[in-house]
Amino acid sequence: MRVLIVECMQEISSFNPLPSRYEDFAIDHGEALLSQRGLNTAIGGALAVFDARPDVTVVPTMAARAGSAGILAGSDWLRLREELLAATAPHVGSVDALYVSLHGAMGAEGEVDPEGSLLEALRRLFGEDLPIVISLDLHGILTDRMLRQVDGLAIYRTYPHVDFADTGRRAATLLLDIIDRDLDPVIARVTVPMLARGDECITRNGLYGDVLADAHLLEGQGAALAAGVMIGNPFTDAPELCTQAIVVAEMDGDGAAEAASGLARSIWAGRQRLVGKLVGPAKAVALAIAEQGPVVFTDAADATSSGASGDSNVLIKALRDGGYGRRVLAQVVDPGAAAAAHAAGIGATIAMPLGGWHDKRFQPLVVTATIESLSRGRARLETMRLPLDAGPTAVITFENFTVLVMSRAVHLFDRAMYFANGLNPRDFDLTIVKSPHTEFHMYDAWASRNFNVDAPGSTSANLATLGHTLCARPIYPLEQDTTFSPAPVLYRRRARPSTGTAHPAIAIKGSP
């Protein structure tokens, strides 16, 4: 049994003014893809399953991964797509199945559904009979076009995400089960007109976690081969952006439709809890001044892991203007400031503009800063152990502020970049974190308070401020009076008549 592996992962914010480019992708070809063995990545988890089967030969082709960013330039998407297809095409006729690792929230100029485009092309290349299973981020946007190409899928179960490898293991296990037992799975999909943000999305203790537990129970009871609820990425403005319940079943379309409808009703019933609770900047500063213990300011509006540019200085300004005098640790993406620091050298004191390099809604803040340290901006994520490269990076200080200045946006959903530059958030009274959420032990376990500040930005949880134009309306909470009634759609891709001739995917609207 020969299983081809290919990966294409990026999450974008349609509201980030800086387009992403081909050069933003880390690309591995062929055997280099196998370097993910043992890592907490989807491919790492899938490889563990495939490697345990002596009858399975892995065929690695290409892995392309980019950090969250602005919409991918159209010419760069076409280049990436053609390279992915060129890497897989030589194996047509010599493999038995495909595992495709995706995010689900890509977007490119001229292509609102890059993952659907890629899967459609792979299906044309490899034919109707070959099983294809995909893995997805729970913030992905699973489309009708994608569902028509696949036999099954596995979705992240944790937020903040820690189950990357587990998701790959589940996808690989499902793929082998489909092959071993010659299954023709049915996939039930129920779309929910809702965008979810806020603390209740945390799966460890939030409402969303309770709904996902019900999906997991369906699998444990044998009622589903796979089940999950995807809340989408509200910053990827696309026609099929929504929340959706997905159930993959062995044969029972009626049962899958009802199970997906039940999951959808549960998430809809809690919609008012799945709205971000925000504190205005001035009030947040006043509350921080009154707080005795260490404080975290969550700047979800400029979260690089959600697709923002990372160059907001709004909270630094608010703390300065509000008279917060204790030690502040902050982070900002500003290649100009980083270059000035490297040119001046460690120990120099220089005047520099800080912030507002990419996103012009942020006005640069002129500071007189001392250059404390310089680095190449290299680190490894705490959870996934994947490399980060923020380019020339500097630690600067001015007044009561210590700021980590990076040249390129990288994931900031953990403490890796702080630690790599000799900074420990526990040494400060207030830390600015550019991520909507982090793992509990990283900040919330020891911080006295964590304020989700209502700052401007391309990934703001104040969703009405973003300006969606593509997603279907009405959608909650953009329209508070949105209504919902489950309308399951079934996908039977490989349903075969008695002649054994494969039929192309069909989607059956309404009740099965």
3-state secondary structure of 328: strand
Provide the residue-wise pLDDT of the chain in tens; the chain has 512 residues.
999 999 999 999 999 999 999 999 999 999 999 999 999 999 999 999 999 999 999 999 999 999 999 999 999 999 999 999 999 999 999 999 999 999 999 999 999 999 999 999 999 999 999 999 999 999 999 999 999 999 999 999 999 999 999 999 999 999 999 999 999 999 999 999 999 999 999 999 999 999 999 999 999 999 999 999 999 999 999 999 999 999 999 989 999 999 999 999 999 999 999 998 999 999 999 999 999 999 999 999 999 999 999 999 999 999 999 999 999 999 999 999 999 999 999 999 999 999 999 999 999 999 999 999 999 999 999 988 889 999 999 999 999 999 999 999 999 999 999 999 999 999 999 999 999 999 999 999 999 999 999 999 999 999 999 999 999 999 999 999 999 999 999 999 865 433 333 334 555 544 33
With contact defined as beta carbons under 8 Å apart, do 180 and 97 qualify?
no
With contact defined as beta carbons under 8 Å apart, do 371 and 345 qualify?
yes
Beta carbons within 8 Å of 480's beta carbon, 6+ residues apart: none
Beta carbons within 8 Å of 275's beta carbon, 6+ residues apart: 197, 198, 477
- C-alpha closest to that of 417 among 445, 457, 390: 390
Phi, psi of 351 (to 5 degrees): -90, 135
For 232-348, where are the E strands, in sequence order? 243-249, 295-298, 328-333
Return the pLDDT at 503.
38
Q: Domains of the chain by range and CATH?
A: 2-274+486-508 (3.40.50.2300), 281-461 (no CATH)
Q: Across the strands, what pairs with 135? A: 101, 154
Per-residue tokens: 215: 């999906």
Beta carbons within 8 Å of 17's beta carbon, 6+ residues apart: 70, 309, 358, 359, 360, 458
Tally of CA atoms within 13 A in the half-sphere of 177 that contains its CB: 18
For 384-469, where are the E strands, in sequence order? 387-389, 393-398, 401-406, 430-433, 449-452
Beta carbons within 8 Å of 471's beta carbon, 6+ residues apart: 237, 238, 239, 240, 241, 242
Distances from the Cα of 487 to the Cαs of 191, 212, 457, 479, 509, in angstroms?
8, 20, 35, 20, 8
Beta carbons within 8 Å of 205's beta carbon, 6+ residues apart: none
Burial class (CB in 10 A: 0-12, 13-18, 19+), 221: exposed
Phi, psi of 136 (to 5 degrees): -140, 150
CA dihedral over 275, 9, 125, 493, signed as positive or negative: negative
- C-alpha closest to that of 250 among 475, 492, 44: 492
- C-alpha closest to that of 13 among 409, 387, 313, 392: 409
Return the pLDDT at 495.
57
Residue with tokens 């901006």: 377
Q: What angle do CA 213, 43, 225 make, to 5 degrees?
A: 40
- C-alpha closest to that of 260 among 294, 223, 306: 223
Q: Across the strands, what pairs with 490? A: 188, 508
Per-residue tokens: 385: 């152990």
Return the pLDDT at 155.
98
